[in-house]
Every structure is written in C-alpha cells, then in structure tokens.
C-alpha cells in the first residue's frame, strides 16, 4: 500500500503547493509512529528548511523533530545542482 505521508504529499502537490512547514503522523499504540525510510526521504524533498514532524499515538503521546533530525544527510536538490 501507500503510506499516509506519501498520499498527503501527493494531495499537496495536486493542490498547487510544493513545500510544507509541518506534518503530523499518528499511529496506533503507545510508541510514537515515525515515518518509514521512504517517507522520510519524501518528506525531506518536499519539506521547507526547518519543517517540523510531529509523531504521535492514538494514546496521546507525541514527539516532535525537524526533518534534519529525522533524516540527517538526506539527498536533496543541492545534490542535483552543478
């Protein structure tokens, strides 16, 4: 299947936006739901510098990190420039 983060990014782009400031990821259980590796890369490509990722649980717990903290050394646009 497709992760919720990928679906949210697709909907964002289809609506004409290309960057986000913050995203919230919520999962079942007691441990904060972190994005999978593929979604971390997608978030890094479409998030603004310093974008916040809040990871939560249906039980009410949450943790917030920046994209850089979540995926240090991510591949980005700078890698494509000559």
Active site residues: 5
Structure tokens at 71: 């995926």
Q: What is the dihedral of CA 54, 20, 27, 4, to 10 degrees?
A: -170
CB 63 within 8 A of CB 69: no
Beta bridge partners of 24: 54
């Amino acid at each position: 299947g497709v992760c919720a983060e990928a679906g949210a990014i697709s909907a964002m782009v289809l609506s004409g936006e290309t960057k986000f400031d913050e995203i919230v990821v919520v999962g079942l259980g007691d441990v904060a739901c972190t994005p999978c590796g593929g979604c971390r890369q997608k978030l890094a490509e479409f998030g603004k510098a310093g974008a916040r990722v809040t990871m939560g649980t249906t039980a009410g717990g949450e943790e917030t990190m920046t994209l850089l903290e979540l995926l240090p050394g991510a591949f980005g646009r700078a890698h494509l420039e000559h």
